[in-house]
Amino acid sequence: MAWVSELSLSERIDEFRRRAGSDRGPVLPRHPEVASWRTATVEDIDAIHAVMVAADRVDHPTWTTPREDVADTFDLAHIDHSRDTVLALDAAGEVIAFGSSFLHPSREGALNVHLSGAVLPSLWRRGIGRAVFGWQYARGLEQLAEAARALPDAQDVEGTAQLRVYAEESNVGNQRLAESAGLAAERWFATMLRDLSAGAPEVTLPEAARESGMRLVAYTHDRDEAARLARNDAFRDHWGSLPSPPESWAKFVGGEFFRADLSRLVVGPDGAIAAFCLASVNEDDWASLGASNSYIDLIGVVRAHRRRGLAPAVVAATLGAMADAGLEKAVLDVDTASPTGADALYEGLGFVADERSVALVAHI
């Protein structure tokens, strides 16, 4: 859903909220199979994670969300779970569903709210998810309204905002729920797998890159900030991408799953990062996939060095490190309409598409 108007962003959001009937903000839902509702505290991390994993095993059986991903959100300054996450509890006080609305801290470009949640699969198709989503939607609009009012006048006049939901392509119910609130499918993503049993592809840096002083190196933590800046530059023109703030980046590269030893960089003669391929390992997913594996979180080339053959080389180097470590598969996710032609690149390196997901968006 998009609005075309001469109103300022804050005025458009207020109008959007009125039309959606949520101008008074989120109200705790009601549902006959939910004994009580409340917002979340840090003591709920394990309960939220348990619901999430139960849903993951149905939605995408090859991977589940690490507990660390849930716990980290309770440490981020821009997230307040006492306002941003609602819980549904049964008569025994157990969490059976949750929904979160997270406003990204960046004020570059559009204001962006990501809605996510889950219901225990045994309680699907009973309307609990719809009740949770109604609360999330109202909270998301409230967050956008608060953020828009705090913008400088020039940004408020020219700014845009969006609500975003990701759903597995196989989960039609989640897609229909988002569509009923005015969100529309806008982008598709594919999970791709690469068998490492035959080793890594034999791809090296192009001769021109080597002659200019570029070289492949393993990731080291003294490059953490340089890698964050390279990531932000490389993804600046990618759909839906927002800058990674220092706080979130520190949790990623300092987290228990990140594997510097498997990650590779292309650096120039001055040591500046030109390309990167960053990987992690979550052994809890190995049984689900039926093979030891590493997930490639980020692949990118800074814009000044694109179209020089750096991406295939840095990915191949990472795949080689994975194979040398005895891992059986590599996994990544790709935007199927990426402007860099990433999906074709990965197919050329031996990746095969598996599951698909869709991003649904409401523009304001």
Say if residue 338's pLDDT is above 80. no
- Alpha carbons 142 and 23: distance in angstroms, whole number: 8
User: How far, in Å, CA of 323 to CA of 320, rounded?
Assistant: 5
Tokens of 157: 């006049």
What are the beta bridge partners of residue 278?
298
Q: Tell me the one-letter amino acid at 94.
A: E
Mean predicted lDDT score pLDDT of the chain: 94
For range 332-355, the mean pLDDT: 85
Q: DSSP per residue over 295-338, as a string?
A: EEEEEEE-GGGTTSSHHHHHHHHHHHHHHHTT--EEEEEEETT-
What's the rounded mean pLDDT across residues 230-237? Answer: 94
Tell me the C-alpha distance between 290 and 287, whole Å. 5
Q: Could you say which of 3.40.50.1820, 2.20.25.90, 3.40.50.450, 3.40.630.30 is the CATH number of the domain covering 9-182? A: 3.40.630.30
Which of these ranges, 126-130, 153-157, 254-258, 321-325, has the smallest mean pLDDT?
Answer: 153-157
Find the mean pLDDT for residues 193-198.
94
Q: Report the top-level CATH class of 190-356.
A: alpha beta
User: Where are the domains positioned within the chain?
Assistant: 9-182, 190-356
| Mean pLDDT (whole number) for 332-336 | 91
The secondary element (H helix, E strand) that includes residue 358 is: strand 352-363
Instruction: Please say whether the beta carbons of 115 and 163 come within 8 A.
Output: yes
Query: How is residue 359 annotated by DSSP?
Result: E
**Given strand 329-335, what is the order of strands in its sheet?**
36-39, 85-89, 95-103, 111-119, 161-168, 352-363, 184-195, 329-335, 293-301, 273-280, 264-267, 215-218
What percentage of the chain's residues is helix, strand, coil (to nearest 5)? 40, 25, 35
Position 2 scores a pLDDT of 47
pLDDT at 241: 84
Query: 10 Å Cβ neighbour count for 118?
Result: 25
pLDDT of residue 29: 97
Of the chain, the percentage scoring pLDDT greater than 70 comes to 98
- Decide if 217 contacts 264 (C-beta within 8 A): yes
Q: Which amino acid is at 303?
A: R
Q: What pLDDT is stored for residue 237 in this prediction?
A: 84
Tokens 């080597």, residue? 210
Rg (alpha carbons) of the chain, rounded to whole number: 21
CA distances from 212 to 205, 207, 209, 270 (A): 11, 9, 5, 11
* Beta-bridge mates of residue 277: 264, 299
User: pTM for this one?
Assistant: 0.87
Residues of the chain above pLDDT 90, percent? 84
Residue 3: pLDDT band (50, 70, 90) is very low
Higher local confidence (pLDDT), 203 or 36: 36
pLDDT bin (cut points 50, 70, 90) of residue 168 is very high
Residue 7: both structure tokens together: 């109103």
* Banded model confidence at residue 339, pLDDT cuts 50, 70, 90: low
Indicate if 190-356 has the same CATH topology as 9-182: yes
In tens, the pLDDT along 86-136 reads 999 999 999 999 999 999 998 887 899 999 999 999 999 999 999 999 999
| DSSP code string of 152-175 | -HHHHHH--EEEEEEEETT-HHHH
**Residue 245 near residue 105, CB atoms below 8 Å:** yes
Q: Are 89 and 38 a contacting pair, CB within 8 Å?
A: yes
